[in-house]
Structure 1
């Protein structure tokens, strides 16, 4: 059986690349897009067969919600998952604590991997 392909849509390379590498180590094929326009090109170009998309809620070219809706309307077999970048979350957390955000902790991508597996397991192939 061929490995599933996951599209990661995230502008910040320091967030996107480690997540992509982690998913590759778990056996997935990964396509990386820096913005929503690139994501649409990946989906429409016919070069990739995308099974799931991890989308940053924000982004320089529009809302992740809008991209997710576009994917559901144009590529209904692609499962989508929205998230916020670590940088955005840390910046928001910095407003809540005196010491500021502590970015030195290792990120745990296991919940993301588990969610991708659940999405792909529930997906109906045409």
Structure 2
């Protein structure tokens, strides 16, 4: 099952023998992908999905990739990696001048494309999740993000740090879903936090001490070995 917060890639290429294997390759390496055979299909995907990066072929029938790239930049769209033919040096230059983030010449090595996609995403501004505004109930607890507090049904309370409050909100946004450490880091502190690979584990330990009757045998915030963490509870709005 794909990570619901993994980077979401849109591949736009009229050649099925390129876009479909490329989509499979990126999914194998932890990305979510959607495919489009032309600019019109791409616009439909962009209208209905949160896309983190667009891999865009320049030479397509109808509206070409440069036109779609221009539209994406003008509308503050996601970063763009252009795919170009060997002879299209002028198009590559125009694409970069329009605001494309990088380009790759066909035929390309998928490993190089993967490296370039990751590099572009590292340079992109981090998407930091803000705590939700509403109070929500889960297990025997109430989370109040504005007060940065947890309150148990028996009256016990626990104050949360800013990081713990944000992390708790993310789990409540995705109940019963396995969230990887890297996804949680991206959502709580941005991509720069990946340098601190124990940050999420430390925050989870502190949250468990506040939530669990026995933090060594958690019943609410579970560890999924090799996967990450999961909130093992349903969530309801308070009031």
Question: How much does 1:125 deviate?
Answer: 4.0
Q: Which runs of 5+ in 2 are unaligned?
A: 88-107, 128-239
**SS of residue matched to 2:35:** strand
Q: Give yes or no for contact 1:77–1:124 (8 Å, CA) kept in 2.
A: no
Q: 1:18 aligns with which of 18, 21, 42?
A: 21
TM-score normalised over the length of structure 2: 0.41
Match in the other structure for 2:119: 118
| Distance in structure 1 (CA, Å) of the matches to 2:118 and 2:29 | 11
Instruction: Kindly indicate whether structure 1 or structure 2 has the higher relative contact order, using CA contacts under 8 Å at least 6 residues apart.
Output: 1
Q: RMSD over aligned Cα, in angstroms?
A: 2.0
Q: Give yes or no for contact 1:77–1:125 (8 Å, CA) kept in 2.
A: no
**SS of residue matched to 1:30:** strand
- 1:37-67 residue CA offsets vs partner (Å, 9 max, x unmatched): 00011111x2x11000000111012221111
Number of positions where the alignment pairs a residue of Structure 1 with one of Structure 2: 105
- 1:7-49 residue CA offsets vs partner (Å, 9 max, x unmatched): 00011111111111000000000000000000011111x2x11
TM-score normalised over the length of structure 1: 0.75
Q: Which runs of 5+ in 1 are unaligned?
A: 93-106
> Pairwise mapping of residues 1-126 of structure 1 onto structure 2 (< 5 A)?
2-44=5-47, 46=48, 48-74=49-75, 76-84=76-84, 108-125=109-126
| Distance in structure 1 (CA, Å) of the matches to 2:25 and 2:117 | 13
| Distance in structure 2 (CA, Å) of the matches to 1:61 and 1:120 | 29
Match in the other structure for 2:148: none
Identify the structure with the greater strand proportion. 2
Regions of 4+ moved over 4 Å? none
